[in-house]
A and B are shown apart, each in its own frame.
Chain A
Amino acid sequence: MFTKKNILPGFNLSLGYTILYLSLIVLIPLSAAFIKTAELSFNEFWEVVSAPRVVASYKLTFGASLIGALINAVFGLLTAWVLVRYKFPGKKILDALVDLPFALPTAVAGITLATLYSAHGWIGAWLELLSIKVASTPLGVIVALTFIGLPFVVRTVQPVLEDLEAETEEAAASLGANRWQTFSKIVFPAIWPALLTGFSLAFARAIGEYGSVIFIAGNLPFVSEITPLIIYIKLDEHEYAQATAVAVVMLVISFLLLFAINGLQWWLSRRNNSSY
C-alpha cells in the first residue's frame, strides 16, 4: 500500500495529525448530532423529519441553494473569464470586490439585502412596479444564497483559467477550429472540473446558510422557511433531539449530494485525461 517512497518523509506522522485534526474539528461534533438524535425512536425520528412543514423547508433550502449555485456557475465563470483575459482600468478593484461576500458578516449582508429589496428599498421599489416581490418570498432566499456563493466559483475557476495558455487556443484556431469549437473542445473541458468544484462549494455553503437569509426570507411556514430556521425553532422549544434529527437529515442529504458531485468530477477528469 505504501510502497512508493516519497522524497520527504513523515507520512505516518502527518496522516496521524490529519486524522486527529479532522476528528476534533469535524467528526466529533458531527457524531454528537447523530448520538443526540438516537434519543428518538425511529418512529419519532420519522415523524419529525417528514412533517409537511419540515419537508417544505427542505425543498426551499435545497432548491434555492441549487438555483443560487447554478446562477453563480454561469456568472461566476463569466466574471472569472473577464478578470483573467482582459486588461482594463479598475480591474484590481473589481477583483477585490469578488471576495466581499466572504468577508462581510452574513447578518450584515442579510440586513442590507432585505433593505434593498423590500417594497420601499432602492431595488425593491422598482421591482414592485413590475409586481415582482423579492423580500419575504422564496425569490429573496435565492438572492441571498446567490450573493454568498459568488466568490466560490470565481476563485476556483480563476487560477485554472490563468494556467490555461493562450497558445493552446491559438493552436486550435490554426488547426481550423472555429470559436465555438475552441471554447467547447479546448477551454471548457480544462476548466470544467474547477467549475464543478466551485459550484459544489457554493451549493454546500448555501445549504447551511442562516444569517443572510433570515432577514430577507420572511420566514413564513410552508412558503419561505429554510431548514436551518426549523432547527433553530426546535432548539428554542428545547427539543434538542428533534433539532438534531432535522440536522442529521440535512447532513446526510448534503453529504450524498457532495459525494455525487465529487464522483462526477472524478469521472470527468479521468475521461479527460485518457483522451490526451
Chain B
Amino acid sequence: MQTFKYLKKTLLISALFLPLTGLAADVSLLNVSYDPTRELYVDYNKAFASYWKNKTGDNVTIKQSHGGSGKQARSIIDGLDADVATLGLGYDVDQLYEKGKLIPKDWQKRLALNSSPYTSTIVLLIRKGNPKKIKDWDDLTKTGVSVITPNPKTSGGARWNYLAAWAYAQKQGGNEAKTQEFIRKLFKNVPVLDTGARGSTTTFAERGIGDVLIAWENEAFLAQKEFPGKYEIVIPSLSILAEPPVTVVDKYAKKHNTEAVAKAYLGYLYAEEGQEIAARNFYRPTLASIAKKYESQFPKVNLVKIDDDFGGWQVAQKKHFSDGGTFDQIYQK
C-alpha cells in the first residue's frame, strides 16, 4: 500500500514535469494475438505501460489485435506489421518462419519454457447438475451425448482439444485404429463445428446447444464467471499441456526500431506482476511463487505434452490436421 502511494506521487510529479522536459519518447507496439486473450492483454498492457514508464520514462501504447490463431498468423505473414505475436499454438508461430521468414527458425528457444510464459489445458464444461453424467473423455463417445468443439482446421484451440482426446484414447491401450475409431465416435456426436473457440462457447453457453463443451480452461472459467451457477467444469483424467507461445516478430520490430521494448514486453510476462495478471485471467502461471498462490484455482491435471507425446507441432499438424490427415479421414465416406 505504502509503495502504491509512493508510486502515485512519483507519477503525479513526473506528470507535472512532463510538458517541461519533453524527453520521454512515445513508443507504440502492436501485439497480434489469438481469440481468448482479449481480457488478459487489456490488463497486462496497462501494467506493462506503467512498468516501462517507471523504468525508462517512455510512454508505450500497445495496440491489440485478436482473432483465430491461424488467421492471425496469416495476417502477419501477409504484412500486418506486428511487433510481437502471442498466438495459440507453436505451429502458427512456426509459419512466421516457414512462410514469411519473419523470425529465426529457433524462435522457440529464445525465451524460457518453450517461449510460453503462461500455459493452459483442455477441460470439459458441462451443464449444472451433470444430467448426462459426464466424467471423462469416454463419456463423450456415448450415444445421446452431444459434444461442442470448434473445427480443428480453423481453430487452434480445437487442435488442442483433438489431441487431448487422442492422447486419452491412446493411453487406454488402443492401437492406432482403435484410437481413430474413438475419435470418429466422438465427432459423430458433434452437431456444430464453429470456426473458432469463442464461437463454440457461444453455441454452448448462449444458444444452449450440446451437453458438453470441450474448451480451453481459461475459456471455461470465463464462461462460468459470465453465467454463474449454470455450468460446471469437469477435469478429465488426462489432458494436454497447452503452451501458447510468444515471440518478437524480428523483421517488423527492427523496422519500427522497437526491438528493445518488444523484448521487454514479452520478458515482463514472466515477471511476478505479469504472472499474477495471467493467473487472474485464468491462465496457468509458470512462476513457482504465483503458481503456489493460485494453487486452489487450478486443479491438478495429468498432462501430456505436444513435444513428448506427439513429436512436436510440425509432426502433429501433418499427421492430424493437414489435407487428408486423421481429422479429414473421420469424415471420409
Q: Judge whether B74 and A235 touch: CB under 8 Å.
A: yes
Contact between B151 and A118, CB atoms less than 8 A apart: no
- A236 near B71 with CB under 8 A, answer yes
Residues of B308-333 contacting chain A, CB below 8 A: 321-323, 328, 331-333
Determine which residue in A53, A238, A242 has the highest number of CB atoms from chain B within 10 A of its CB, and name it: A238
- In the complex, besides A221-B331, A236-B153, 15 extra interface pairs with C-beta distance below 8 angstroms are A114-B207, A121-B207, A136-B191, A218-B191, A219-B193, A219-B195, A220-B191, A220-B192, A221-B328, A222-B331, A222-B333, A233-B154, A237-B322, A237-B323, A238-B99
Known: A115-B206, A219-B151, A219-B192. Contact between A238 and B331, CB under 8 A? no
Q: Are B192 and A233 in contact (CB under 8 A)?
A: no
When the two chains form their complex, are residues B151 and A233 in contact, meaning their CB atoms are under 8 A apart?
yes
Chain B residues lying within 8 Å of A119, measured Cβ to Cβ, are 208-209
Residues of chain A within 8 A (CB-CB) of B207 are 114-115, 118, 120-121, 135
Give the CA-CA distance A136 to B207 in the complex, in Å: 12
Which B80-133 residues sit within 8 Å CB-CB of chain A? 95, 98-99
Whether a CB of chain A sits under 8 angstroms from the CB of B70 is yes
CB distance from B192 to the nearest CB of A (A): 5
Given A52-B333, A222-B333, check contact A118 B95 (CB 8 Å).
Answer: no
What is A's interface to B at a CB cutoff of 8 Å?
52-53, 111, 114-115, 118-121, 135-136, 214-215, 218-222, 229, 232-233, 235-239, 242
Complex-state Cα separation, A259 to B165, whole angstroms: 49
Closest A residue to B68 by beta carbon equals A236
Task: Give the contacts of B8-39 with A (CB-CB under 8 A).
Answer: none
- CB-CB < 8 A to A235: which residues of B? 71, 74
Q: Given that A236-B71, A238-B99 are known contacts, is A218 also in contact with B208, CB under 8 Å in the complex?
A: no
- Smallest CB separation, A189 vs chain B (Å): 46
With A53-B331, A119-B208, A121-B207 as given contacts, are A218 and B322 in contact (CB-CB < 8 Å)? no
Query: Which A residue's beta carbon lies closest to that of B154?
Result: A236
With CB as the reference atom, state the residue of chain B lying closest to A116: B207
How far, in angstroms, from A218 to B202 measured CA to CA in the complex? Answer: 13
CA gap between A215 and B199 in the complex, in Å: 8
- Output the least CB separation between B147 and chain A (Å): 13
Contact residue among B190, B208, B321, B332 (Cβ-Cβ distance under 8 Å from A118): B208
Listed in ascending order, the chain B residues whose CB lies under 8 Å from chain A are: 68, 70-71, 74, 77, 95, 98-99, 151, 153-154, 190-195, 199, 202-203, 206-209, 321-323, 328, 331-333
The residues of B that contact A115 with a CB separation of less than 8 Å are: 206-207
Question: CA A120 – CA B206 in complex, angstroms?
Answer: 10
The binding surface of chain B is classed by DSSP as loop
Given contacts A215-B199, A232-B195, A233-B153, contact A239 B331 (CB under 8 A): no
Q: 28 A-B Cβ contacts within 8 A?
A: A53-B328, A111-B202, A114-B203, A118-B207, A118-B209, A120-B208, A121-B207, A136-B191, A136-B209, A214-B195, A215-B199, A218-B191, A218-B192, A218-B193, A219-B193, A220-B190, A220-B191, A220-B193, A222-B331, A233-B154, A237-B70, A237-B153, A237-B321, A238-B74, A238-B77, A238-B95, A238-B98, A239-B323
Closest chain B CB from A125 CB (angstroms): 10
- Cα A111 to Cα B198 with chains together (Å): 13
Q: How far is the CB of A76 from chain B (nearest CB, A)?
A: 29
Closest to B331 in A: A221
Note all chain A residues with C-beta closer than 8 A to B71. Answer: 235-236
Residues in chain B near residue A135, CB distance under 8 A: 192, 207, 209
Closest 8 A-B residue pairs measured CB to CB? A221-B331, A236-B70, A120-B208, A219-B193, A118-B207, A233-B153, A218-B192, A136-B192
Residues of B within 8 A of A221 (CB): 328, 331
CB-CB nearest in chain A for B156: A236
- Cα separation A219 to B199 with both chains bound (whole Å): 12
Q: How far is the CA of A240 from the CA of B271 in the complex (A)?
A: 39
B145 to nearest A CB, angstroms?
15
Complex: A222 Cα to B188 Cα, angstroms = 13
- Distance (Å) between the CB of B233 and the closest chain A CB? 22
Question: Measured between C-beta atoms, what is the minimum distance from B75 to chain A in Å?
Answer: 11
For the complex formed, measure the closest distance between the CB of B66 and the CB atoms of chain A, giving whole angstroms.
Answer: 15
A119 to B209, CA, bound (A): 7
Most buried by B among A218, A222, A242: A218
> A136–B71 Cα gap in the complex (Å)?
23
